[in-house]
Amino acid sequence: MALRSSTRWRFRQPSVIPGFGLALGVTLTWLTLIVLIPLSGLIWRSSGLGWSNFMALVLDERTVNALTISFGTAFIAAVVNLFFGVVLAWVLVRYRFPGKRVIDAMVDLPFALPTAVAGIALTALYAPNGWIGSLLEPLGIKIAFTPAGIVIALVFVGLPFVVRTVQPVMEEIDKEVEEAAATLGANRYQTISRVLLPGLLPAGLTGFALAFARGVGEYGSVIFIAGNLPYVSEIAPLLIIIRLEEFNYPAATAIATVMLFLSFIMLLVINSIQAWSRRRYSNGA
């Protein structure tokens, strides 16, 4: 009897989080309405095309080129943001200098600035007759209306994701850890590679994933500087808009489904690497 009452008491013990059942139900309902149902509708519409028609639309040369440009430029921009975002976060956390608050506020500017305004500003700068483009034109370097311009636009919109993800984690790392590493004989490179970066790796990968996801679906800041030249600088979101304007809904649906699938796979891989690095670092600690 004592065992039964003890077991019953444990089973009826209230949850640590009040209202867990209600909160979980609201969460699942909200995700279903906002995320799962629209995505399921997209996949259902694509399944109605048939496998042969779907593959014919997906393997179209223009579609493949647009997808390659979108994912390739987004990946390159995310890598650039990962490196410079960590450096910028390090400067903001570890150093004090005049104008630090201004620079810290400027990091969030791409969040508040309309993407179309950013695209127009970047095009005005990097166009052949722009301030920067006119200086690069005599050297044979063309930025606007090329994939390089797309990378610059995606770096602009994706940098805050890395900085704001890495910065809080970097603030939690005490300077005493660096001093202890130096006391034990570690040089600067060993301190960075073996002491600091392992702890920043999960946060850095999170920022990388966010910047990559933003870059793949970015439209407003890219459409102007890209030039939208087929087979040269045409991005997949723009091609979807073009197919919709042509009333070619099957092609638009197929492209959107492929983007959804590729984005999910890449984010799954990145999250798996992030979880592995977190476990490895925590076990090592």
The pLDDT value recorded for residue 159 is 92
Question: pTM value?
Answer: 0.81
Token pair 């909200």 is found at 30
Is a pLDDT exceeding 60 seen at residue 11?
A: no
Q: What is the CATH number of domain 68-235?
A: 1.10.3720.10
Query: What's the mean per-residue pLDDT of the chain?
Result: 83
Query: Comparing 198 with 15, which gets the higher pLDDT?
Result: 198
Query: Comparing 89 with 274, which gets the higher pLDDT?
Result: 89
Rounded average pLDDT over 193-206:
80
Q: What is the pLDDT of residues 143-182, one digit of tens each?
A: 888 999 999 999 999 999 999 999 988 888 777 777 777 7
- Contact indicator for 213, 78 with CB cutoff of 8 Å: no
In whole angstroms, give the CA distance from residue 268 to residue 274: 10
- Contact indicator for 234, 228 with CB cutoff of 8 Å: yes
> Between the CA atoms of 57, 59, 65 and 69, what dihedral angle is there, to the nearest 10 degrees?
90
Is a pLDDT exceeding 90 seen at residue 84?
A: yes
**Would you state the structure tokens that stand for residue 151, as one six-digit string?**
């990378």
The pLDDT value recorded for residue 6 is 47
The pLDDT value recorded for residue 2 is 47
Is a pLDDT exceeding 60 seen at residue 45?
A: yes
Rounded average pLDDT over 4-13:
48
- Contact indicator for 174, 181 with CB cutoff of 8 Å: no
Chain-centroid distance of CA 113 in Å reads: 18
Query: In this structure, is the dihedral angle defined by the CA atoms of residues 105, 107, 113 and 118, taken in order, positive or negative?
Result: positive
In whole angstroms, give the CA distance from residue 85 to residue 78: 10
For residue 60, give the nearest of 261, 236, 246 by alpha carbon.
236
Print the SS3 string covering 175-231. HHHHHHHHHCCCCHHHHHHHHHHHHHHHHHHHHHHHHHHHHHHCCHHHHHHHCCCCC
> Between the CA atoms of 38, 42, 43 and 47, what dihedral angle is there, to the nearest 10 degrees?
140
227 phi/psi in degrees, rounded to 5: 80, -20
Helices 115-126 + 147-172 axis angle, to 10: 120
Q: What is the pLDDT of residues 118-154, one digit of tens each?
A: 888 898 899 888 889 888 888 888 888 899 999 999 9
In whole angstroms, give the CA distance from residue 227 to residue 145: 4
Domain residue limits, the chain? 68-235
Residue type, 171: E
The pLDDT value recorded for residue 7 is 47
Is a pLDDT exceeding 60 seen at residue 14?
A: no
Q: What is the pLDDT of residues 255-272, one digit of tens each?
A: 888 888 888 888 888 878
Is a pLDDT exceeding 50 seen at residue 227?
A: yes
Provide the percentage of residues in the chain whose pLDDT is more than 70: 91
The pLDDT value recorded for residue 1 is 46
Query: Comparing 38 with 84, which gets the higher pLDDT?
Result: 84
Tell me the pLDDT band of 80, cut-offs 50, 70 and 90.
Answer: very high
Helices H / strands E in the chain, number of each:
16, 0
The pLDDT value recorded for residue 281 is 60
Is a pLDDT exceeding 50 seen at residue 3?
A: no
Is a pLDDT exceeding 90 seen at residue 96?
A: no
